[in-house]
Amino acid sequence: MFELTDQMYQAVLNLDDDYRQFFCLQKCQEQGALYVLKEPGSEGMPLMFNDEPEAGEDENTSHTFLPIWCHPKFVNYYQEHAANHDELKDYELLELKLDLFRDKWAATLEQNGIVLALMPLDDTKNFTLCRATIFAEADAAKTAAAEAQQSDQLTDADKAVLKG
């Protein structure tokens, strides 16, 4: 786990979701680990979010998210600031080595249409999503930035063509 000073912690809390995304991806990759919350007990399921499709979205749009964090302090912050914090107080922190995540989790998540929610801090949906296989890239943060830029440059017509 990387050293997180109080100054860095406060600065990251004030970043917008795009910058938090790149910070999270970079730190997870540097330390070779990420953090999730799971239900209590040895067989507890990881915390996941679900939301409803918006008007005009096709059936391929993901609506299940696995929140990940790069440091336990940010997990604790989320547990304290989520609307369902009373329920989450019993959830346990789980550190996943990146090798294990890449080898055992990422493909299964992707096959099931589950994407990563990077560093949520509360329930406002103020977080960025990315594919679960992003950590297979040599530089996950740089790849995510390039993918986001490419997606932002697509016109609505281009997006319709890509969706088929």
Domain that holds residue 98: 6-163
- Residue 14 lies inside a defined structural domain of this protein: yes
- Residue 93 lies inside a defined structural domain of this protein: yes
Amino acid at 112: N
- Residue 132 lies inside a defined structural domain of this protein: yes
Q: What is the pLDDT along the chain (164 residues), one digit of tens a residue?
A: 889 999 999 999 999 988 999 999 999 999 999 999 999 988 889 999 887 666 665 565 557 999 999 999 999 999 999 888 888 889 999 999 999 999 999 999 999 989 999 999 987 777 888 999 999 999 999 999 888 787 766 555 544 444 44
- Residue 46 lies inside a defined structural domain of this protein: yes
| Domain count within the chain | 1
Phi-psi region of 43 (alpha: psi -120 to 50; beta: other; left: phi over 0): alpha
pTM, 2 dp = 0.85
- Residue 55 lies inside a defined structural domain of this protein: yes
CA dihedral 122, 1, 21, 29 (to 10 degrees): -150
- Residue 1 lies inside a defined structural domain of this protein: no
* Amino acid 159: pLDDT: 47
C-alpha span between 115 and 86 (Å, rounded): 25
Report the 3 state secondary structure along the chain.
Answer: CCCCCHHHHHHHHCCCHHHHHHHHHHHHHHHCEEEEEECCCCCCCECCEECCCCCCCCCCCCCEEEEEECCHHHHHHHHHHCCCHHHHCCCEEEEEEHHHHHHHHHHHHHHCCEEEEECCCCCCCCCEEECHHHHHCCCHHHHHHHHHHHHHHCCHHHHHHHHC
* Amino acid 53: pLDDT: 63
Asked whether 40 and 90 are in contact (CB, 8 A), the reply is yes
* Amino acid 13: pLDDT: 95
